[in-house]
């Protein structure tokens, strides 16, 4: 099996293990191993694959999927200027704290800074707008632990319960980019953790730091003293039940509500 093929198969498998269900893919040649690995995963029913020709559109489709589901979608592009077209979506994900995994294919080191066509400095291209940026070197042998741990760590950072946002994996792929094993079952030596567990145990993959509104109400009922003055802040959400609960909490406490336009709260008079 060609190292680049093995790398792509393992990275896609670890994305699935970490809970990624949707991948938006642009077109191009350097990302061919990822594209074929993703197509094979979709055929097995492991992911939903969305193909978009325009990378700017691909970035915002992935952003919307992450915003709607709360689960990071991955957006995959080939090398060169395709990567730069993702910047607007990455900035939006950063500012809105939407989980997003940006996976860009790149040329190997030997083809960088030598005047080759469509080679730009992709590593760190999004600057401070990512929570984590990793430059993954081209595979020269089989290193499944490195590939899996990198993907798992990036998904964990993207889904951090306190500060979720975009992460960038810039993965170099060397030729040959494809071989006949790209659509076959993953060999045992490339398999992940038993039981379908993520390679890296990270609490950020399962943590839930916020308290549900109905739980907050129960806690306030049990409290001996409730502050006379307070404020309820409602952020962006799509929970229909939360709207009535926020109003109920506001009426019970006499606290005003400040809400994002997308928070859909009716607001409340000040106490």
Q: Give the count of domains, the chain.
A: 2
Residues facing residue 75 across a β-bridge: 24, 102
Q: What is the pLDDT of residues 47-93, one digit of tens each?
A: 999 999 999 999 999 999 999 888 999 999 999 999 999 999 999 99
| Tokens matching residue 124 | 């760190």
Domain of residue 40 covers 3-205
CA 28/CA 35 separation, integer angstroms: 9
Check whether residue 173 and residue 226 sit in a common domain. no
Residue 269 resides in a domain: no
Q: What is the pLDDT of residues 125-147, one digit of tens each?
A: 999 999 999 999 998 888 999 99
60-79 per-residue burial string, b: 16 or more CB within 10 A, e: under 16? bbbbbbbbeeebbbbbbbbb
CATH number of the CATH domain containing 166: 3.40.50.970
Q: What is the pLDDT of residues 182-199, one digit of tens each?
A: 777 888 889 888 888 888
pLDDT of residue 158: 94
Check whether residue 245 and residue 136 sit in a common domain. no
Query: If pLDDT is split at 50, 70 and 90, which confidence band does 4 have?
Result: very high
Check whether residue 152 and residue 247 sit in a common domain. no
**Last-in-domain residue among 186, 205, 224:** 205
CB 63 within 8 A of CB 93: yes
Check whether residue 148 and residue 17 sit in a common domain. yes
Q: What is the pLDDT of residues 144-160, one digit of tens each?
A: 999 999 999 999 999 98
Check whether residue 218 and residue 192 sit in a common domain. no
Check whether residue 60 and residue 98 sit in a common domain. yes
Check whether residue 186 and residue 239 sit in a common domain. no
**pLDDT surpassing 70 at residue 5:** yes
Check whether residue 153 and residue 240 sit in a common domain. no
pLDDT mean over 209-233: 61
Residue 270 resides in a domain: no
Residue 169 resides in a domain: yes
**pLDDT surpassing 50 at residue 268:** no
pLDDT of residue 215: 60
Check whether residue 190 and residue 152 sit in a common domain. yes
Check whether residue 45 and residue 64 sit in a common domain. yes
| pTM: predicted TM-score of the whole model, two decimal places | 0.76
**pLDDT surpassing 90 at residue 262:** no
**pLDDT surpassing 90 at residue 7:** yes
Query: If pLDDT is split at 50, 70 and 90, which confidence band does 238 have?
Result: low
Q: Is 95 helix (H, G, I), strand (E, B) or coil?
A: helix
């Amino acid at each position: 099996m060609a190292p680049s093929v093995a790398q792509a198969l393992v990275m896609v498998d670890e994305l699935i293990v970490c809970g990624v269900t949707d991948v938006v893919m642009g077109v191009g040649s350097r990302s061919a191993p990822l594209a074929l690995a993703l197509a094979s995963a979709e055929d097995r029913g492991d992911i939903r694959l969305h193909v978009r020709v325009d990378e700017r559109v691909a970035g915002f489709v992935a952003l919307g999927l992450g915003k709607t589901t709360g689960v990071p979608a991955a957006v995959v592009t080939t090398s060169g200027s395709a990567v730069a077209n993702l910047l607007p979506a990455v900035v939006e994900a950063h500012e809105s704290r939407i989980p997003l995994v940006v996976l860009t294919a790149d040329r190997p080191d030997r083809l960088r800074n030598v005047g080759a066509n469509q080679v730009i400095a992709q590593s760190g291209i999004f600057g401070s707008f990512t929570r984590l940026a990793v430059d993954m070197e081209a595979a020269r042998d089989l290193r499944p632990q490195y590939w899996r741990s990198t993907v798992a760590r990036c998904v964990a950072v993207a889904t951090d319960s306190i500060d979720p946002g975009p992460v960038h994996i810039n993965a170099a792929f060397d030729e040959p980019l494809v071989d006949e094993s790209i659509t076959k079952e993953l060999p045992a030596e490339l398999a992940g953790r038993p039981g379908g567990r993520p390679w890296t145990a990270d609490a950020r993959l399962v943590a839930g730091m916020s308290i549900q509104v109905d739980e907050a109400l129960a806690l306030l009922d049990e409290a001996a003293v409730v502050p006379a003055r307070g404020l309820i802040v409602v952020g962006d959400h799509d929970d229909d039940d939360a709207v009535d609960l926020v109003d109920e909490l506001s009426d019970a406490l006499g606290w005003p509500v400040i809400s994002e336009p997308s928070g859909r709260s009716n607001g409340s008079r000040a106490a």
